[in-house]
Structure 1
Amino acid sequence: MKRFLATKGCLLLCFFAAARQKTDPWLEELLRKQASPLLLHVLNKPDNFQYQLIYTQIDRDKHNRPQFKHYFLNVDRNRYFNPASMVKMPVAFAALEKLNELKKKGVNKYTAMLTDSSYERQTRVLTDTSAANGLPSIAQYIRKIFLVSDNDAYNRLYEFIGQQTLNEKLWQKGYTDSRITRRFVTMNEEQNRHTNAIRFIQDGRLIYEQPAAYNPTPFDFSKKILTGKGHWNRNDSLINEPMDFTTHNNIPLEDLQQIAQSVLFPESVKPQQRFRLTEDDYRFLYRYMSELPRESKHPKYDTTEFFESYTKFFFFKADRGRIPPSIRAFNKTGWSYGFLTDVTYIVDFEHKVEFMLSGVIYVNSDGILNDNKYEYEQVGYPIFKETGQLIYQYELTRPRKHQPNLRKFQLNYQD
Structure 2
Amino acid sequence: MAKPNDLVGLRRNDSHLTYLQLLRPDCDQSDSSLKELVHVLLESNNNTNTHVTRVRVMVQHRFFWNRTNNNDDNDSLRLRRQVFAAVGSLPKLQQLKIDSYMGLVRLPVGVLSDTIQRARQLRELELWDLKLMVADDSNDLEALQNALQDHPCLERFTLYNCQSLTDRNGATRACSLDPVVHALASMPKIEQVYITAAAANSSASSSIAFSCSALEHLCRSKTLKELGLWKFNFHSAVQHRQTATIMPPHNNNNEPLTFMAPALAQSNTMTMFEFGKCHLSAQGDLAMAAMLRTNTSLLQLDLHLDAVVTTDDDDDEDYFVATAEALEKHNRTLKSLKLWGLLSRRNQEALVAMIQHNYCLQTCRLLDADCDVSQQMEFYIGLNRRGRKQLFKTTCGSQWINALADCGRNNFPKQQDGLSAIYYYLSMKPGLLCCPK
Largest Rg, 1 or 2: 2
Query: What TM-score range do you get, normalising by the shorter chain?
Result: under 0.3
Structure 2 length normalisation: TM-score? Answer: 0.24
The one of the two structures with greater contact order (alpha-carbon pairs below 8 A, sep at least 6) is 1
